[in-house]
Structure 1
Amino acid sequence: MEDKKTAIQAIKFTLFSISAGIIQVASFAILNELLPIFDGEYGINYVVSLLLSIIWNFTFNRKFTFKASNDVKKAMLLVLLFYLVFTPVSAILGTMAEARGTNEYIVLGITMLFNFVLEFLYSKYIVFKEK
């Protein structure tokens, strides 16, 4: 029964993550190509687009994937702690890769894949852990 529940959560998480990924890529492209406010600076564009996708993903996965009734503030704090580590590490490594000539969209895609896997595990077993 637990395996079936985890599989269903993984499917829902994947679908919401795809929608969050669309938001992240679209906002990154807008910042990078159409509104070069930050002069095409990968790290800043990445962080802004990541924040938008985090808000989206947290909201929908909390309600529909994990059906969490735990304290929203505590859950948000736990997500913040995850991203306090993930964001600077991924932004620094992404900026380094982009500076060495790797296309910024390839860097973004790889970063998003790592984020997808790590965030599912962290959300399921730490943020929305059932008691």
Structure 2
Amino acid sequence: MKTSSRKELLRTIKYFTFTTSAGVVEMSSFTLLTQFSNFPYWSRYLIALVLSVIWNFSLNRRFTFKSNNNIPIAMLKVVFYYSIFTPISTIGGNYLVTVLHWNDYLVTIINLLCNGITEYLYQRFFVFGATLDSREIIRHKPTDLDHLL
């Protein structure tokens, strides 16, 4: 396997590993809100989605895409993605739950899977595409003064 192909495969695996952890954040917060609040589906989903987005963006920017690009610009690009995904998934999910009486958790899992796949493609090629692996890891080099600290 070519080095670049291997690197992309590892990047994809790393992305979906972190995204799985974001899914745990989303499902845990959704479950807590479902069990301990009377919020309608759309608000429980929206709160859980926001928490998972913050988690996922932070981890993947630093560790998966290793991007050193302008964080506010990258965040604006992600906000643009979510300005489309969020209303579609929130309104669509609420329709499936309240009108068609689908299971809350099933709808949330479907949204989570759609989000994970489409967001990977969006972040990989649009948000971080030009700045992949631009973050340099600066390792601390010991100095003569380190023994004083």
Alignment coverage as a number of residue pairs: 128
Structure 1 Cα separation of the partners of residues 89 and 110 of structure 2: 10
Q: How much has 1:32 moved relative to structure 2?
A: 1.2
What secondary structure, in the 3-state scheme, does the structure 1 residue paired with 2:67 have?
Answer: coil
Alignment match, 2:141: none
Give structure 2 stretches of 5+ with no counterpart: 132-149
Alignment match, 2:5: 3
Give structure 1 stretches of 5+ with no counterpart: none
TM-score (norm 2): 0.83
Q: How much has 1:107 moved relative to structure 2?
A: 0.3
Q: In the TM superposition, what whole-angstrom CA distance separates every residue of 1:88-108 from its partner, at most 9, and x where no partner exists?
A: 000111011112110010000
Q: How much has 1:2 moved relative to structure 2?
A: 2.6
Structure 2 Cα separation of the partners of residues 95 and 45 of structure 1: 10
Which protein has the larger Cα radius of gyration, Structure 1 or Structure 2? 2
Name the one with the larger helix percent: 1
Q: In the TM superposition, what whole-angstrom CA distance separates every residue of 1:66-111 from its partner, at most 9, and x where no partner exists?
A: 0000000000000000000000000111011112110010000111
What secondary structure, in the 3-state scheme, does the structure 2 residue paired with 1:130 have?
Answer: helix
Alignment match, 1:12: 14
TM-score (norm 1): 0.94
What secondary structure, in the 3-state scheme, does the structure 1 residue paired with 2:10 have?
Answer: helix
Identity among equivalent pairs (%): 38
Please tell me the root mean square deviation across aligned C-alpha atoms, in Å.
0.9
Structure 2 Cα separation of the partners of residues 98 and 35 of structure 1: 17
Q: Which runs of 4+ in 1 moved over 4 A?
A: none
